[in-house]
């Protein structure tokens, strides 16, 4: 199947490579020629402009996947493509856009007969090997048409044991992707996914901070322990009820440097945690852990604890997020609408 890919950063480039490895044809575009040429060497067709990309998509209906920073950049690209594509063509937003923006974009494009699909994409820099977990919103026809693409990007069954008692039905969730509902549903599920991620990471960070400070001079001398955090992280990975991929990343960082000296503990948020808390308020759902984890990230920008170094190390591990190279805050939402803009960021 042929697909256009706009945005060849941490995830877009590797997603294109994974698709080509599965036999799909990618027409790719990035602003820098060097990035385009690197994908062309791997088998993609490089386009020199958005107009050129659309022209090089010969299969109908055409499908264009956006892997761009959420907010203004994505909004402008959707607008540009809406003037170039034809009825029944499909735009897929695979970034971290706000789900209410998806609903609005889908309605706007429907007037021209262009279909819109939102895809919350999780997998970070490791997705090219592990596959990408995808939460998809859009019409059944559009999502079904794109199934060969989603199937190639997804992890597949792998060696994860099947859930006991799960009723037979849609096989896609077991393969790592789901049609969550209409436009907006995919990014809404991904938004909550990232909110949960915030809480999990904060719990690990606080736990390791407690362990590290057990040798504090504020404690009685006979109550102090000097604990090997690298070994503790490693043993928790094996048979423990709190084992996870996030713990794997933390363990790898601690094995490399038990003091995490290369991390300051400055922890950014990409927008989804805030939006999850906003959704909880709208639905009157208590979200104590996620809210506290979000506030902990705010506080991390003022002073840094060892736990925040753990958080920063895990973020670097799964998404390549480098301290000091991200905008300070997500862009504020406009006062006159429900539109939200996210900080330019790789998907968490």
Q: Which of 75, 197, 206, 348 does the annotation list as catalytic?
A: 197
Coil, helix or strand at residue 267 = coil
CB-based contacts of 293: which residues, under 8 Å, 6+ apart?
198, 199, 201, 202, 273
197 among known catalytic residues: yes
190 among known catalytic residues: yes
- Do the Cβ atoms of 224 and 214 come closer than 8 Å? yes
- Do the Cβ atoms of 322 and 263 come closer than 8 Å? no
Q: What is the DSSP string of 44-86?
A: PEE-SSHHHHHHH--SSS-EEEE---TTHHHHHHHHHHHTT--
Q: Which of 56, 100, 190, 308 does the annotation list as catalytic?
A: 190
Task: Report the relative pairing of strands 115-122 and 133-137 from DSSP bridges.
Answer: antiparallel
Cis peptide before 61 (omega within 30 of 0): yes
Task: Report the relative pairing of strands 177-181 and 45-46 from DSSP bridges.
Answer: unpaired
Q: Which residues are catalytic?
A: 190, 197
């Amino acid at each position: 199947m042929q697909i256009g890919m706009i945005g060849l950063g941490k995830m877009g480039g590797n997603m294109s490579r994974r698709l080509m490895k599965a036999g799909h044809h990618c027409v790719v575009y990035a602003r820098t020629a060097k990035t385009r040429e690197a994908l062309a060497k791997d088998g993609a067709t490089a386009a020199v402009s958005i107009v050129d990309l659309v022209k090089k998509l010969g299969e109908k209906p055409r499908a264009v996947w956006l892997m761009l920073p959420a907010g203004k950049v994505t909004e402008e690209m959707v607008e540009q493509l809406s003037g170039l594509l034809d009825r029944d063509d499909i735009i897929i937003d695979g970034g971290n856009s706000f789900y209410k923006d998806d609903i609005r974009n889908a309605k706007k494009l429907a007037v021209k007969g262009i279909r819109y699909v939102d895809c919350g994409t999780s997998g970070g820099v490791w997705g090219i090997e592990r596959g990408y977990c995808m939460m998809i919103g859009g019409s059944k026809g559009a999502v079904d048409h794109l199934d060969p693409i989603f199937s190639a990007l997804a992890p597949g069954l792998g060696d994860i044991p099947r859930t006991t008692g799960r009723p037979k039905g849609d096989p896609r969730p077991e393969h790592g992707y789901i049609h969550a509902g209409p436009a907006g549903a995919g990014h809404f599920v991904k938004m909550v996914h990232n909110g949960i991620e915030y809480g999990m990471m904060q719990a690990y960070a606080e736990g390791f901070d407690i362990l590290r400070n057990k040798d504090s001079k504020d404690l009685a001398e006979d109550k102090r322990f000097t604990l090997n955090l690298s070994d503790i992280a490693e043993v928790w990975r094996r048979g423990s009820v709190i084992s996870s991929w996030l713990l794997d990343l933390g363990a790898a960082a601690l094995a490399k440097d038990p003091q995490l000296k290369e991390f300051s503990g400055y922890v950014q948020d990409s927008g989804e945690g805030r939006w999850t808390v906003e959704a909880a308020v709208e639905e009157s759902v208590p979200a104590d852990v996620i809210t506290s984890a979000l506030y902990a990230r705010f506080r991390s920008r003022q002073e840094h604890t060892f736990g925040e170094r753990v958080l920063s190390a895990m973020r670097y591990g799964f998404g390549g997020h480098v301290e000091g190279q991200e905008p300070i805050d997500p862009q504020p939402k406009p006062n006159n609408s429900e539109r939200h803009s996210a900080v330019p960021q790789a998907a968490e």
